[in-house]
């Protein structure tokens, strides 16, 4: 298995930490050759790694209802200060198949600390046990819960942001569309970190980084096939928001992509579509980085700090604009 392409330009541009990460990643079996529960068990048995944990006032786990007598976990990160704080509903990555509250814990702590928002991290149910649309329904139900219970978590219900990485970025984009289509809750902004926006697997970045960059094309297909029920689902706009004809009236968007990532081009394409629909959009590509960096505090702490600083600036700008519009005569 090639770790990365043997091109001088690629080797020169790939971040040193990304190279080291890929060397480690490909020492384990290819995930797409295993069953989902086997992969989950393998990750659960990995020894814990000490990472930097941003200081916060409080962290609390809660069970919340999501309909049909089902419940899911959320983890609430409260920054230091008086509040009420603006809110950030976070959806973790893992291809809708892997991941839990722990995978994004250090990054969510840092988001809460640096954006001075209460972060609510959502442990939506996973495929293939719970295929589409259940992860989407859980994600929207969690947003509704935050809206309805903002006061109890010292949150400001008038300023709710949704965001997430990879499949969580997909869920953030989809929840933003659902909130528009269902007339609420109102979302102030969406933060999409290397989001899945399509299940076509055929962009230039899919071809260029198909093997050896962490999220192999075959692995992404493995995730997608476990998530959807049939080919028709792959065309559903709540699976593939890039296919939506109407992207009007969506929240301001901050879209981050990674340079060496199969999902790079569809993330950039979604940002472009949002902008063409008249939305406020800021997008950029993190140079030298690979998919998954944002929740890997052990390997990419400085890069995560940079990304979160940019997110904080964007959200402060959105907040300032909203205040300005509210105060207009």
- Give the integer Cα–Cα distance in Å for 289 and 303: 9
Strands, sheet with 118-123, edge to edge from the N-terminal-most edge strand: 58-67, 70-78, 118-123, 85-91, 155-165, 189-193, 253-260, 281-290
- Give the integer Cα–Cα distance in Å for 33 and 318: 43
- Beta strands 70-78 and 118-123 are antiparallel
Catalytic residue among 139, 166, 172, 176: 166
Residues 6+ apart with CB under 8 A from 108: 75, 77, 90, 119, 121
Is 261 labeled as catalytic in the residue annotation? yes
Is 324 labeled as catalytic in the residue annotation? no
Catalytic residue among 165, 198, 216, 261: 261
> Can you give the three-state secondary structure of 224-270, one letter per residue?
HHHHCCCHHHHHCCCCCHHHCCCCCCCCCEEEEEEEECCCHHHHHHH
Burial-class residue 73 by CB neighbours within 10 Å (0-12, 13-18, 19+): middle
Where in the sequence numbering do the catalytic residues fall?
166, 261, 291
């Amino acid at each position: 298995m090639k770790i990365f392409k043997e091109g001088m330009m690629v080797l020169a541009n790939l971040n040193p930490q990304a190279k080291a990460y890929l060397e480690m990643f490909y020492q384990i079996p290819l995930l797409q050759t295993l069953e989902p529960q086997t992969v989950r068990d393998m990750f659960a048995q990995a020894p814990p790694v000490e990472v930097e944990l941003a200081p916060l006032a409080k962290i609390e786990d809660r069970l919340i209802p999501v309909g049909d007598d089902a419940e899911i976990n959320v983890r609430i990160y409260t920054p230091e200060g008086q509040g009420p704080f603006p809110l950030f509903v976070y959806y973790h990555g893992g291809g809708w198949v892997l991941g839990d509250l722990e995978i994004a814990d250090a990054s969510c702590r840092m988001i809460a600390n640096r954006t001075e928002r209460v972060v609510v991290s959502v442990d939506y149910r996973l495929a293939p046990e719970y295929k589409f649309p259940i992860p989407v329904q859980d994600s929207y139900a969690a947003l509704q819960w935050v809206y309805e219970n903002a006061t109890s978590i010292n949150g400001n219900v008038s300023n709710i942001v949704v965001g997430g990485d990879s499949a969580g970025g997909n869920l953030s984009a989809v929840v933003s569309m659902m909130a528009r289509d269902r007339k609420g809750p109102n979302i102030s902004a969406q933060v999409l970190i290397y989001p899945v926006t399509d299940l076509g697997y055929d962009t230039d970045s899919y071809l260029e980084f198909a093997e050896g960059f962490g999220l192999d094309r075959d692995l992404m297909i493995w995730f997608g096939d476990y998530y959807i029920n049939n080919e028709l689902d792959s065309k559903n706009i709540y699976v593939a928001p890039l296919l939506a004809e109407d992207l009007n009236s969506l929240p301001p968007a901050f879209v981050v992509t990674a340079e060496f990532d199969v999902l790079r081009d569809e993330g950039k394409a979604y940002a472009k579509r949002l902008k063409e629909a008249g939305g406020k959009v800021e997008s950029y590509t993190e140079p030298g980085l690979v998919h998954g960096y944002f929740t890997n505090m052990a390997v990419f702490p400085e890069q995560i700090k940079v990304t979160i600083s940019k997110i904080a600036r964007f959200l402060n700008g959105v907040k300032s604009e909203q205040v300005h519009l509210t105060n207009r005569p």
